[in-house]
Amino acid sequence: MIKFENVDKVYASGTKALNKVNLEIEQGEFVAIIGLSGAGKSTLIRTVNKMIDITAGRLTVNGIDVSGLKGKELRKFRRKIGMVFQSFNLVMRTSVINNVLAARVADMSFIRTLLGLYSKQDKIQALEALDKVGILEKAYSRADQLSGGQQQRVALARTLAQNPEIILADEPVAALDPVMADVVMEDFKRINRDMNITVVINIHHVDLALQFADRIVGINAGKIVYDGPTRNVTNETLKMIYGRELTDDDLMKEKKND
């Protein structure tokens, strides 16, 4: 369980990115965080694995106080939390399998990492992860030869290869076309359902959030303005979260009734 209690984040520049955030996410939930860009979505997600440190309040993940973690403990904690990025963050000049295996090095000895000696167990785990996102046949291709959608699925496989309990995804489909975005979101959904992994996803596109998530958290200027099941979200709620009418930019696909 991820639990935010009165969490604040003020950047060194003075920007207040999170303002008294209270949020509880149970294991196995699929939560979409929506809001304008700059509303604090990205900050919120990155505090969970302490890629960004909070400045006030209390943040616990499965009972562990995150802001108290340092060095080795922090690294051990992060192993259970996967992260997927908007720009995929793959090493383009190496093979897909090497990218996925990179998620295993946290558990490996220094010498094994240096020499690239992955155990059979690690290799199987990496291939299984690729199989789960449906691109097993691309294992030995170079990452830069894949399409954007396939690259994001490699990134997802990399995350799966670390056996996470939680997956944090920061705008994972923003760089993809609508068809690929759907496929990748399906992958997230399936993983969430089959493996009982918590998925917390930042998403700018309201339609995708409503289609795939079980729960919507709306954030505006660092404050949570809506938190509830997807089915309760109305046009009024969206207007409140965005502070304006929705535009085409907020949707991945063209409006159906157009």
Partner 1 sequence: MIDDILHIFFPREYTLENGKVVKEKFNWTPYITIAIILFSVFCAVFTKVDIPRLFQRSKAFWALIEEMIPPNWGFWRDMQKPMIDTIVMSVLGTVVGCLIALPMSFYLSSNFKLNKVYLAGHKGLLSLLRTLPTLVYAQLLSIVIGTGTLAGTISITIFTYTICVKMMYEQIETVDMGPYEALESTGASRVKCMMKAIYPQVRGFFWSTVLYCFETNVRSAAILGYVGAGGIGVQINEQLTWRRYGNTGLMVLVLVITVVIIETISRELRKKLVQG
Partner 2 sequence: MMTEKHLTIESQLEKFPSVLPKFIIGLVSFVVFYILTTITISFKGINEKGILIAIAAFKGLFNPSMSVITDLGKYGLLQMLFETLAIAFLGTIIGLVFAIPLAFLSSRNICPRWINTICLTLISIIRAFPAFMLGIMFVKSIGPGAFAGVLSMAIGSIGMLSKLIIEVIEDLNPGIAEALDAAGCSTFEKIRYGLIPQLSSNIISIVLYRLDINVKNATILGIVQAGGIGAQLMFAINARRWSDTGAMLLGIIFMTIVLEYFSTRIRTRLAGQKD
Exactly one of 153, 158, 204, 215 binds partner 1 (CB under 8 A); that residue is: 158
Of 9-17, 151-159, 221-229, 244-252, the segment contacting partner 1 by CB under 8 A is 151-159
Tokens of 215: 């729960």
Total residues binding partner 1 (CB under 8 A): 34
Which helix H or strand E contains 22, and what residues bound it? Answer: strand 16-25
> Site for partner 2 (CB under 8 A): how many residues?
14
Asked if residue 110 binds partner 1 (CB under 8 A), the reply is yes
Does residue 140 bind partner 2 (CB under 8 A)? yes
Q: Are the C-beta atoms of residues 29 and 216 closer than 8 Å to each other?
A: no
Helix, strand, or coil here: 92?
Answer: coil
Rounded to whole angstroms, how far apart are CA atoms 11 and 79? 26
Beta bridge partners of 199: 30, 167
* CB-nearer residue toward partner 1: 78 or 138: 78
Smallest separation (angstroms) from partner 1 to the CB of 50: 10
Q: Residue 134 contacts by C-beta under 8 Å, 6 or more apart in sequence? A: 153, 187
Q: How far is 19 from 14, CA to CA, in rounded Å?
A: 13
Nearest to partner 1 of 73, 177 (CB atom): 73
Residues 100-119 that bind partner 2 (CB under 8 A): 115-117
Among 1, 106, 117, 179, binds partner 1 (CB under 8 A): 106
Among 24, 65, 137, 144, binds partner 2 (CB under 8 A): 137
Cβ-based neighbour number of residue 187 at 10 Å? 20
Binding site for partner 2 (CB under 8 A): 97, 115-117, 120, 123-124, 127-128, 131, 136-137, 139-140
